[in-house]
Amino acid sequence: MQRRIDHFLSGIAALILIVAGTNLVKAQNAGDLKFNEILVLNDSSSVDDFGVHTAWIEIFNSAYNTVNIGGCYLTDDLGNPTKYWIPTGDPATKISSRNYMVFWADDKPTRGIFHLNFHLKDAKTIALFDASGKTLIDKVELPADHKADVTYGRPTNESQNWVYLEKSTPGANNDYTKKKSAGESFVEMDPFGIGMTMIAMFVVFSALTILFIIYKNMGRFFIRKAIPKKEKMPVMVGNIAKDEEMSGEVNAAIALALYLYQSELHDEENTVLTIQKVSRNYSPWSSKIYTLRKSPR
Amino acid sequence: MGKFIDFIIEHLAQFLQFTAFANMTIGHVIMICVGLVFIYLAIAKEFEPMLLIPIGFGILIGNVAFAPGYQIGVYESGSVMNYLYFGVLQGIYPPLIFLGIGAMTDFSALISNPKLILIGAAAQLGIFGAYCIALALGFSPTEAGAIAIIGGADGPTAIFLSSKLAPELMGAIAIAAYSYMALVPVIQPPVMRLLTTPKERLIRMKPPRVVSKVEKVIFAIAGMLLTTFIVPSGLPLLGMLFFGNLLKESGVTKRLADTAKGPMIDIVTILIGLTVGASTQATTFLTVKSVGIFILGAFSFVIATFGGVMFVKIINLFLKEGNKMNPLIGNAGVSAVPDSARVSQVVGLEYDKTNHLLMHAMGPNVAGVIGSAVAAGILLSFLA
């Protein structure tokens, strides 16, 4: 039995490890970074910190924690994945949760860590590699027909498709349309809260019903375990044998009465069961040897 | 000399502008009176003194009027009270309180008679009944959700959820939740009497069986996994509740359990009570919305009691004679631990001096804690 339990527990542990392993790809680290918006031809759009109109690349941190992009590589040539190394140790390279970072593709790396050592004019692909320079985090194939001041990006943060965007939004969400909150959307369909009440009560009942079912059966298991095996059980007669849910107090009283009867320690006084003091000088009940522990020294 | 006297008078007048007397409004006076009532109820009537004293005194602190800009008030960045309030705003304190509650709760009654768990689910009707009424009164969905949780009768849960859904209403919601929890012995008995027949009130329930340590340990682990797998957004509360319970039931982490249910929960209770009280500054608290919140809170407690009692009556229709439950324990599904269970006991004894319902009522009572945390998780996942 013990071996079976051990095997069962090992199986569960293995299952958890497998599930955890398959979810590792979702771990919140540099792997959560992705390209979000790119402007190849910047004639009159946003300017960099030197006041120059230049091409830019926006990276989005899709994780719910801060990710440091320092140490990663940006490139426009998959044959040279370590083309631009993003310096480490700079607090500016930390991208906070669900936030954006813009790099200027002006081939002027001396202007700061956000200025890359390549242009986008002739680039066909841009890619982001992790600190090893070998693992690709994200890449984008750039189309050939770029229009001036029109950005190419994901319409929403979660989108996998890339399209030309109506409005350039460096360092901000590409989806600038007014959004309803989750609550507003919910109430639009359920203005009186009836749906919410039904769903929520169903979920609360489901959660607690599962607990109920498990504990109902677990209780049966433990009660069965607590009852001695058949061969060791005394023969019981009448209704007592059927009454499995007899309380502990009743069992204890019956056991005590049987013990007293068998040991002939009982006495009768006006038909009331009593425990009288034994008129002996010594009794284990009054002995200090049996009732006290030795004092610590 | 005259110049010097002018200087003194001018600065005295300037100083007077900084005193609470100069900045006092009628709202501050009203709120100070509310704080004093809380303290009176706590000391003279012993209504939830552990909560009402810190909250009542917090209300006094929060309503000493001051000139803004000196980093004094709870809403001023950088003030001491603001730092302490951070734990409320970010929902840090409620899970810590749940840790302590878990470490001091004995789930034996629930484990020995698992059908009592379902009463804890039925009583959550109060939350969603209040949600519907709040929507009808014109509260926004997030506000309605935050207000509705008052019906869960669980202070930490109410603070946790309102800090996420409607932080601006948190003070009023917390005060309403704790006030009505203190008033459970007043609110619930009339509803219980109204919904039950004299015969039902005399139902005797089987004594709970002895629960082994293994069962209690499994309960803590399985309870956490099952409830949070269904409602992961309840993880901060449910995770801490069951973790605290495991510390207690494992039997090998007595020191940790003692700390969780002793000094730690005391410290957090002081901080949460004081800062929630202080957040009720008259300028932000005395609004029509606050009045609406208090009215809705009372309704939610009544609906929750109704849900619990009626559920027991319905379940009794399907139970054999001898297995029936006394509907007077239905109110205990409202998770004001242990007040609502105590109400079951007191009302039960009114009709049969030997029918003690406390042990049975503790089952739905602790199930109510789990149920309200699950309900909070549902509201959070739909409305946040």
Contacts of A253 in chain B (CB under 8 A): none
Of A182, A191, A206, the CB nearest to B382: A182
Q: Which of B272, B265, B349 is nearest to B96 (CA)?
A: B265
Residues A200, B379: C-beta atoms closer than 8 Å = yes
**Minimum Cα–Cα distance from A217: chain B residue:** B114
Helix (H), strand (E) at residue A261: helix A248-262
Distance of residue B253 Cα from the nearest chain A Cα, in angstroms: 23
pLDDT digits (tens, 9 = 90+) for B279-336: 888 887 888 888 899 899 999 999 999 999 999 999 999 988 888 999 999 999 988 8
Chain B touched by A19 (CB under 8 Å)? no
Residues A193, B135: C-beta atoms closer than 8 Å = yes
Residues A197, B131: C-beta atoms closer than 8 Å = yes
CA–CA gap between residue B50 and residue B181 (Å, rounded) = 12
Residues A209, B121: C-beta atoms closer than 8 Å = yes
Burial status of residue B322 (CB atoms within 10 A of its CB: 0-12, 13-18, 19 or more): exposed
Residue in the structure block whose two tokens are 């936030």: A99
CA–CA gap between residue B163 and residue B157 (Å, rounded) = 10
Q: State yes or no: cis peptide before B338, omega within 30 of 0.
A: yes
Residue A100 main-chain phi, psi, to 5 deg: -130, 155
Burial status of residue B372 (CB atoms within 10 A of its CB: 0-12, 13-18, 19 or more): buried
Of B115, B141, B210, the CB nearest to A183: B141
Position B83, amino acid: Y
Residues A183, B207: C-beta atoms closer than 8 Å = no
CB B65 within 8 A of CB B23: yes
> Cα B220 to chain center, whole Å?
22
Half-sphere exposure of B113 (CA within 13 A, CB side): 21
Q: Which of B72, B40, B44 is nearest to B56 (CA)?
A: B40
- The tokens for A146 are 């770029």
Residue A273 main-chain phi, psi, to 5 deg: -75, 125
3-state SS of B26-40 is HHHHHHHHHHHHHHH
CB B353 within 8 A of CB B331: no
CB A196 within 8 A of CB A190: yes
| CA distances in angstroms from A128 to A32, A133, A136, A159, A248, listed in the order given | 11, 9, 6, 18, 70
Enumerate residue ranges in chain A where pLDDT < 50.
Answer: 17, 19-28, 242-243
- Residue B249 is given by DSSP the state H
Contacts of A215 in chain B (CB under 8 A): 110-111, 114, 117, 219
Mutate to test the interface with A, among B107, B112, B119, B124 (most CBs of A within 10 A): B124
| Cβ contacts of A154 within 8 Å, gap of 6 or more | A36, A37, A160, A161, A162, A163, A174
Contacts of A183 in chain B (CB under 8 A): 140-142, 145, 165, 382-384
Residue B16 has pLDDT above 80, yes or no: yes
Residues B114, A212: C-beta atoms closer than 8 Å = yes
Mutate to test the interface with B, among A190, A196, A202 (most CBs of B within 10 A): A196
Residues A208, B378: C-beta atoms closer than 8 Å = no
Residue % of chain B over a pLDDT of 90: 52
Helix (H), strand (E) at residue A204: helix A194-226
Distinct helix (H) and strand (E) counts, chain A: 5, 13
Residues B141, A186: C-beta atoms closer than 8 Å = yes
CB B180 within 8 A of CB B47: no
- Count interface pairs A-B at CB distance under 8 A: 130
Q: Which of B180, B121, B182, B170 is nearest to B146 (CA)?
A: B170
Residues B370, A208: C-beta atoms closer than 8 Å = yes
| Cβ contacts of A292 within 8 Å, gap of 6 or more | none
Of A193, A208, A219, the CB nearest to B112: A219
Of B118, B129, B134, the CB nearest to A209: B118
Contacts of B209 in chain A (CB under 8 A): 219, 223, 245, 247-248
Number of residues that make up chain A: 297
Could you state, in order of their start, the residue ranges of all structural domains in chain A?
A: 28-178, 184-221
Contacts of B110 in chain A (CB under 8 A): 215
Distance of residue B124 Cα from the nearest chain A Cα, in angstroms: 7
pLDDT digits (tens, 9 = 90+) for A179-194: 788 888 888 888 888 8
Could you state, in order of their start, the residue ranges of all structural domains in chain B?
A: 91-383
Contacts of B212 in chain A (CB under 8 A): 222, 226
* Cβ neighbours, 10 Å, residue A79: 6
Of A203, A213, A214, the CB nearest to B231: A203
pLDDT digits (tens, 9 = 90+) for B29-78: 999 999 999 999 999 988 888 888 999 999 999 999 888 888 888 888 88
- The tokens for B324 are 């029936």
CA–CA gap between residue A142 and residue A57 (Å, rounded) = 12
Contacts of A204 in chain B (CB under 8 A): 121, 124, 371, 374-375, 378
Of A183, A222, A248, the CB nearest to B140: A183
CB B241 within 8 A of CB B142: no
CA–CA gap between residue A201 and residue B124 (Å, rounded) = 7
Residues A212, B115: C-beta atoms closer than 8 Å = yes
- The tokens for A66 are 């801060």
pLDDT digits (tens, 9 = 90+) for B162-214: 989 998 888 889 888 888 888 888 899 999 999 999 999 999 998 888 888 99
| Cβ contacts of B10 within 8 Å, gap of 6 or more | none
Q: Looking at chain A from residue 245 to 274, which residues have their Cβ under 8 Å from any Cβ of chain B? A: 245, 247-248
pLDDT for B244? 95
Contacts of A182 in chain B (CB under 8 A): 382-384
Residue B238 has pLDDT above 50, yes or no: yes
Distance of residue B278 Cα from the nearest chain A Cα, in angstroms: 29
Residues B223, A207: C-beta atoms closer than 8 Å = no
CB B334 within 8 A of CB B187: no
pLDDT for A22? 45
pLDDT for A25? 41
User: Average of pLDDT values for B342-350?
Assistant: 92
Of A187, A205, A215, the CB nearest to B114: A215
Chain B touched by A182 (CB under 8 Å)? yes
pLDDT band at B344 (very low <50, low <70, confident <90, very high): very high
CA–CA gap between residue B120 and residue B118 (Å, rounded) = 5
- The tokens for B173 are 């919601």
CB B289 within 8 A of CB B170: no
| Cβ contacts of A127 within 8 Å, gap of 6 or more | A74, A75, A76, A78, A81, A136, A138, A139, A140
CA–CA gap between residue B234 and residue B25 (Å, rounded) = 40
Mean per-residue pLDDT over chain B, rounded: 90
Residues B374, A208: C-beta atoms closer than 8 Å = yes
3-state SS of B191-216 is HHHHHCCHHHHCCCCCCCCCCCHHHH
* Cβ neighbours, 10 Å, residue A244: 9
The ipTM value here is 0.81
pLDDT for A123? 86
Q: Which of B339, B303, B309 is nearest to B179 (CA)?
A: B339
